[in-house]
Structure 1
Amino acid sequence: MNAVPAVSPAPTFSWRLAVLSIMIAVASLIAIYRTTAFGMVSIWWRSETFTHAFLVAPISLWLIWEKRKVLARFQPHPALWLALPLLMLAFVWLLGELAAVNAVTQLAFTAMLILVVPLVIGLPAAKQITFPLCFLFFAVPIGEFVMPKFMEWTATMTVLGLRASGVPVFQEGLQFVIPSGRWSVVEACSGVRYLIASMTVGTLFAYLNYRSIKRRLIFVGVSIIVPVIANWVRAYLIVMLGHLSGNELATGADHLIYGWVFFGIVILIMFAIGMRWREDDDDAALMTETVAASAAANAKSDAKNHGTAQGFVTATLLALSVALLPQGALKMLDTQNSGAAPTLSIQALAMGGWTQDAQSLSTWQPAFANPSVTEIASFSQGAQRVGVHIAYYRHQGYDRKLISSENALVKSGDENWLQIERGTHTVTLAGQSLVVQSAQLEQQRALTAEPVQLRVWYWYWIDGRLVSSDFLGKLWLALARLRGHGDDSAAVFMYAREASPGEADAALEKFLAEAGPALGTLLEQARHAR
């Protein structure tokens, strides 16, 4: 047996100063970025998908507490150079705030909280608690952006399972009909809740039970794949249970309860299997490695002699100074974003033989929340009719923004309209080639004698630029505000009835070719008329 060399723990007084500095810096960051912090907590409170986030910080603190003996062997010394990446994170937060992107601001804010720790105690000590610190990222309520894709996958796999079981299925987008009734895949059926919960618990399980990086990564990968597949099986079993019981079982709220019970069983089985490859700590080897690392780190740190009260105060003040910079920039930019409510004269699009109709083309409207102004009109030329819907935004924030995961052509619970197809279409607009988003909508058959289908094209207009990508749209919006151009932007929707294949696209192309220049002028005039 090898003897473990004794190493004197770091002075208690230094660690007390370091912990006090971290507490002051973290509390100050939360106060400075309270809007972001309160926004995270409000999402935890109202969304069942992220309720687990209330436990993330306590778990992280507990994991750090478990490392206290290891940390005591290191001398805390501020790493002031980390103020530079902290400044970069503050700039990222500013960009996210300008574009009103919760995911960006909350990720940047959490990363800033984490980076304060190595800034105050130094990298050698902070390295010992890398996982507990990074575990805080699970408190960020992010992941719902994948929900539409997961809903599509769930619907597709459920239909494939039903057909493989001999059940006839007619599918329209996220809804499908079987002989016993009609089913629909909604947000709660997407499996995103299961995925996020499984990733959080699975990552913690891997850290506590495995020592090798390889095994940890493998188990985390399994905790990602298993809930996705399990959700497909869950959806299939619930539909089959309802079908075989004459819709007496697994309907209403019961299918959600059954789903969580099934998910819990799957996770327990996954953990039981994972325990077979559990790796226990090699205490002697771990202690020897820790002692050697701490001795080398302390020798290097002692030479620099930064672990003083003055050093901790400097680190704390530096962190606070960096954190305040984007707040000042934001206030300055907000003064450039003033102005009255915009006005649009959509009648200007009636040109080139197109005339504005008194009657609306359709009852459909996109579910874009709280625009500054909305203009809707229908235009016709001979037998061709086209509808135009413009949602114009100014003074954007978290309660009013052009690009949001909440905005959609059709909500999943819409009782009037279904989105049965999505894609893209290349058009020429304002002299440039633009790939616009395209979708096929259908009115519920119960509401009309004949099914009404609409072909919809839509894109964004931001600071005079035309984009159809949500990511690029957010980026251009942030850059526009940084340049002092304000946040004026709009979502433009054009639609026509699809009575026969290609008929709607032909009408939309013709209208856009003749009214496209006037549309650009209309939006520019609204932006400059303040």
Structure 2
Amino acid sequence: MIEPNHRTDATDPRRGGLLAVIVAVYSVAVIALYHETAASMLRTWQVSETFAHGFLIVPLSLWLVWRLRRQLPVASARPQPWALVFTFGGNLAWLLAYLVDVLVLQQLALVGIIITGIWAILGTALTLRLAFPLGFLFLAVPMGEGLILPMMELTADTTEWLVRASGVPVYREGMYLSLPSGDWSIVEACSGVRYLIASFTLGLLYAHLTYRSHWRQAAFVLASIVVPIVANSLRAYFIVMLGHISDMRIATGVDHLIYGWVFFGIVMLLLFWVGGFWQESGHAEDQSTASGAAIRGTARTGSAFLPVLVLAMVVAGLGPLASLWLERGEDDQQIPVALSAPPVAPAWRETEAPRWDWAPDQRGADRELSVYYQAAAPVGLFLHQYLQQRPGVELVQGVQSWRSASGAWKVKSRRSFATDFEAVREVDEVVLTSGRDQLLVWAWYRIDDHHTHNPYYAKLLEAKQQLLQGEREGSRLFLATAAGDDLAPARDLLRQFLEAHLAGIETILENSRTTGEAVP
């Protein structure tokens, strides 16, 4: 008698289809649980040209899985619930990021929760085969904005050096370059971060598809990072020189952007063309056919995966559930009382606003204070206290708060500065210019008696405060005074003011935070 042949080989399409459905159910469930985080990624893809490539990441990841379908050892799929420990860790990371409104960490945690849950469902052997398509999903997270400022500074430095090397005189003030033919400014679009992110994404995909050896893959990915950085500096230089040579008739309007993207496209084509000389025949996944087909295992029915699927969805839902519990009772807000000016210390006196007329662009604070004191020269004190933070109204903001709302002041330099003052050890020091006026500004945060200029540490302090006290309260402080080319006298003045008035500042921030009257 000839018995029917029940396929249990590694590439049984029916088993592969069943696993695909199970993974899809889990992924959709996680996205539904974290719909606000997923929606924030989608909104960023829609409004930001820098991160518009996010729309392509998921389809590309699915295509990478599809091209491996004949080599996947689906019979080796064995649920491993212990991997949900990492899913739980992703929940904790998401919860901390949610409590302090750090979107990028929420989004990274969301992707991690999806990947680790898939790992628990499919097991280690099959997940390792899918490591690149799954890891590729992290590129859907809109991250990299922290590179904009250092990339702008690098672009300004290299452009200035190349223009001088070409024999053209140039005067630089912060991100502004002045040539005899006209003025140029290095703005965010000039940073090259868009080129870098696009190049890295394409380079990572190209290296995976083209090379087998890890060292060639790593070398090409490294080239896809270095080449756009160098190319962006050359692009900025060529645009400045085109404008200079043409007496500012070309490369100053929309053609400025067109030349940039055309130049970037040519550079990327050259990068891929050169990379093609080291192309290796076949691919690592193609070679895995034999080893993949050799893997055998006892065929698992769908019911074997269902308990782990349900458990994975339960673990994935712990983060949103905990966030609802922690947010209980937050609707009862308190009415804040106004801030009063700190008492005037000996040798100082309160004065009118000086003629430089600068104020930070720090938005949404519950209580604000702007007051000026006079000793050897005027010092401006600006306090912004946040008692009820919520998305969009936060202490730590993405904007550069030391820029004035009017936009009249330009950032000449920015650095971290050690004050040699015990309570406030380090501040953000910014030099601003407007015409002939120049200001020295110190900025930092105060959270739970801790003073820091680091926004990441400030977020950690907020997370600790939220978990232990159930609230997020903090202040943003600014000191400003007029400065000359020698910053030492201005620094000494701000240090003297801080030493004389810090105790009073902390007292007014601590005392009488609210009237105790609840707002329904």
- TM-score band by shorter chain is over 0.9
SS of structure 1 residue aligned to 2:469: coil
> What corresponds to 1:457 in structure 2?
442
For residues 227 and 200 of structure 1, the distance between their equivalents in structure 2, rounded to whole angstroms, comes to: 12
Give % identity: 34
State the shift of 1:464 in Å: 2.1
SS of structure 2 residue aligned to 1:387: strand
The answer to which of 205-214 and 356-365 deviates more is 356-365
**2:423 pairs with 1:432:** yes
Pick from 362, 378, 389 the counterpart of residue 372 of structure 2: 378
Map 1:285-300 to 2 at 5 A.
285-292=287-294, 294-295=295-296, 298=297
Pick from 436, 452, 456 the counterpart of residue 471 of structure 1: 456
> What corresponds to 1:156 in structure 2?
157
Change (3 A) 1:486 1:362: farther
> What corresponds to 2:433 in structure 1?
442
Change (3 A) 1:201 1:169: same
For residues 60 and 471 of structure 1, the distance between their equivalents in structure 2, rounded to whole angstroms, comes to: 31
SS of structure 2 residue aligned to 1:247: coil
Deviations 1:122-144 (A, max 9, x none): 11112111111111111100001
> What corresponds to 2:478 in structure 1?
493
Change (3 A) 1:149 1:526: farther
Larger fraction in helix: 1
Change (3 A) 1:69 1:141: same
State the shift of 1:13 in Å: 4.8
SS of structure 2 residue aligned to 1:347: coil
> What corresponds to 2:310 in structure 1?
317
SS of structure 2 residue aligned to 1:512: helix
**2:332 pairs with 1:347:** no
For residues 171 and 341 of structure 2, the distance between their equivalents in structure 1, rounded to whole angstroms, comes to: 42
State the shift of 1:485 in Å: 4.4
> What corresponds to 2:357 in structure 1?
363
For residues 528 and 342 of structure 1, the distance between their equivalents in structure 2, rounded to whole angstroms, comes to: 4
TM-score in terms of structure 1 length: 0.91
Letter in 2 for 1:432: A
For residues 163 and 510 of structure 2, the distance between their equivalents in structure 1, rounded to whole angstroms, comes to: 52
State the shift of 1:81 in Å: 0.8
Change (3 A) 1:361 1:352: farther
* Cα root mean square deviation, aligned: 2.2
**2:519 pairs with 1:517:** no
State the shift of 1:453 in Å: 0.9
Pick from 403, 409, 428 the counterpart of residue 417 of structure 1: 409
Does structure 2 retain, via aligned residues, the 8 Å contact 1:32–1:324?
yes
State the shift of 1:433 in Å: 5.2
Does structure 2 retain, via aligned residues, the 8 Å contact 1:83–1:319?
yes
Deviations 1:328-347 (A, max 9, x none): 22122223655324334231
Change (3 A) 1:361 1:460: farther
Which runs of 5 or more residues in structure 2 are unaligned? 1-6
SS of structure 1 residue aligned to 2:217: helix
Change (3 A) 1:500 1:167: closer
> What corresponds to 2:209 in structure 1?
208
Deviations 1:17-68 (A, max 9, x none): 3222212211111111111100001000000001111011001101101111
State the shift of 1:414 in Å: 6.9
Letter in 2 for 1:59: L
Change (3 A) 1:407 1:344: farther
> What corresponds to 1:125 in structure 2?
126
Does structure 1 retain, via aligned residues, the 8 Å contact 2:87–2:116?
yes
Does structure 2 retain, via aligned residues, the 8 Å contact 1:7–1:291?
no
TM-score in terms of structure 2 length: 0.92
Letter in 1 for 2:305: F
Deviations 1:226-258 (A, max 9, x none): 000000000000000000001110002211110
Change (3 A) 1:480 1:529: farther
Change (3 A) 1:352 1:310: farther
Change (3 A) 1:347 1:274: same
> What corresponds to 2:395 in structure 1?
402
